[in-house]
Amino acid sequence: MALEQIKMPQLGESVTEGTIEKWLVSPGDHVNKYDPLAEVNTDKVTAEIPSSFTGVIKELIAAEGDTLAVGEVVCTIETEGGGTEEAPAEKTSEQPKEESKSAPQQEQSKAAPAKAERPAGAGRFSPAVLKMAGEHGIDLSLVEGSGKEGRITRKDLQKIIDSGELPQAKEAPVAAPVEEAPKSTPAAQTTAAAPKQDIPTLPGDVEIPVTGIRKAIAANMLRSKHEAPHAWTMIEVDVTNLVQYRDSIKTEFKQKEGFNVTYFAFFVKAVAQALKEFPMMNSMWAGDKIIQKKDINISIAVATEDALYVPVIKHADEKTIKGIAREINELAGKVRAGKLKSDDMQGGTFTVNNTGSFGSVQSMGIINYPQAAILQVESIVKRPVIMDGGMIAARDMVNLCLSLDHRVLDGLVCGRFLARVKEILENMTKENTSVY
């Protein structure tokens, strides 16, 4: 028998820590390799920690709600016939030794004074750490981190907050740069959020605990609004031809393909085509430069009862309307079944949100950071329209609402982009558009 450690995995390029939302196993449970052990929430995604071994769970090191840095041990597992053939006994004897040392070492680091030379990762903070420090007025330069390479984690800050001894600078501290944020972005300056408000609870009021997912959504939305100067514009599109075309094929398509071809698939296709013609819309702000992305990966918003997920249709410009419709159906199914993976949410370059599914006719979306724009597709409604020659006709109309990062985009390119999307949509007919 050998005792192995399961560590917090890297769940994204810039993810430095994760919070144990729920344990799926208990000590004594037998698990197979790749079985899910726990649900973990980060500021980017909720995912599962898979087992790296087959064996019996020995100890759960982290409790539900604990935040651990990438690489920290979350639990131990006793494997059957584990260890190397050369020195099986040495591995089993060393592991408990290291485990027994970890607790006192953490206690010592709590009381240890700041060192003259800090570890390499000590000066880089995640958005969640910066936000938490700003809310409580904690000077991060006075905090000793227990994470990988000396990084400060939310767990470190929570211990300090619980102790009641907050290390605060005599003068207002200059916030450190956000992990992997562009050099000259104002991210650090905006992370000092307003202090928590004590709102009185009256009889009949309901207190709803904020889940890890909701906290991550809130942090990302706050960062987007603070960092990106949002501008907004809207265009009206006559999609009468598109509606007639889609309605004429929807029954046959469902019988043949096994899933629906929605209006939304046509909109995503039109946006992907227009992005190819206006690549500046497919860009991101990087401080001293703007990154124009080569791949056109469309993020779409999928809501559940208590959260909002943004999976990605990758290389959308290379897909047919049928291919996009299938991917929308599959991604939405994964979200609702709780099977969405981290990779399904990575790499988005532009977001299209189907707000019209709720009956909305006009809305202002918050940009999905670090993208430069988000397009809201509103509800298709019949309205009287004055046609050429002065005739009035009932037409299927839709509003497309665009929020843009004014550091990257201006009205000229956005106006031309929306005009092109409008042109593509208004010319989607049975004669010149194929779903295959």
Domain CATH for 353: 3.30.559.10
Q: State residue 168's pLDDT score.
A: 57
- The region that residue 258 occupies, defined by phi over 0 for left and psi between -120 and 50 for alpha, beta otherwise, is left
- Length of the chain counted residue by residue: 436
Do 254 and 367 sit in the same domain of this protein? yes
> Is 278 within a domain?
yes
Cβ proximity of 76 and 3 under 8 Å: yes
Q: Which of the residues are catalytic?
A: 406, 410
CB atoms within 10 A of CB 7: 16
Residue 300 included in any domain: yes
On whether residue 115 sits in a domain, the answer given is: no
Any domain includes 266: yes
Residue 16 belongs to a domain: yes
pLDDT for the residue numbered 197: 65
Asked whether the beta carbons of 177 and 132 are under 8 A apart, the reply is no
Same domain, 414 and 299: yes
Q: Is the domain of 173 the same as that of 311?
A: no
Q: Is residue 402 domain-resident?
A: yes
Maximal CA-CA distance, the chain:
91
* 236 in Cβ contact with 399 (< 8 Å): yes
Are 304 and 408 members of one domain? yes
Domain containing 11: what range?
Answer: 2-108
Domain match, 47 and 146 both: no
Q: Which residue ranges in the chain fall short of pLDDT 70?
A: 12-14, 43-45, 81-128, 131, 135, 148-149, 164, 166-197
Of 71, 66, 171, give the one whose Cα is nearest residue 121: 71
Q: Is residue 202 part of a domain?
A: no
Residues 172 and 259 in one domain: no
Assess whether 254 and 346 both reside in one domain. yes
* End-of-domain residue from the set 73, 108, 143: 108
Identify each DSSP E strand in 264-349 by its residue range: 283-285, 290-292, 298-300, 302-303, 308-309, 312-313
User: What is the DSSP secondary structure assignment for residue 230, as one 8-state letter?
Assistant: E
- Considering the domain architecture, whether residues 264 and 393 belong to the same structural domain is answered as yes
* 61 belongs to a structural domain: yes
Which among 81, 108, 135 is the end of a domain? Answer: 108
Domain final position from 66, 81, 108: 108
Are 310 and 390 in a shared domain? yes
Residue 262: C-alpha distances to residues 247, 335, 357 (Å): 9, 18, 11
Angle, CA 185 vertex, CA 182 and CA 189 arms, to 5°: 130
Number of structural domains (the chain) is 3
287/416 same-domain check: yes
Query: Within this chain, do residues 152 and 236 fall inside the same structural domain, yes or no?
Result: no
Other beta carbons within 10 angstroms of residue 320's beta carbon come to: 13
What are the tokens at 281? 């819309």
What is the value of pTM for the model shown? 0.62
Cβ neighbours, 10 Å, residue 71: 14
| The Cα angle at residue 274 between residues 268 and 275, in degrees rounded to 5 | 85
**Residue 353 near residue 366, CB atoms below 8 Å:** no
Give the span between the Cα atoms of 312 and 297, in whole angstroms: 6
Q: Are residues 56 and 186 in the same domain?
A: no
Whole-number Å distance between alpha carbons of 277 and 424: 12
The torsion angle over the Cα atoms of residues 416, 421, 425 and 426, rounded to 10 degrees, is -10
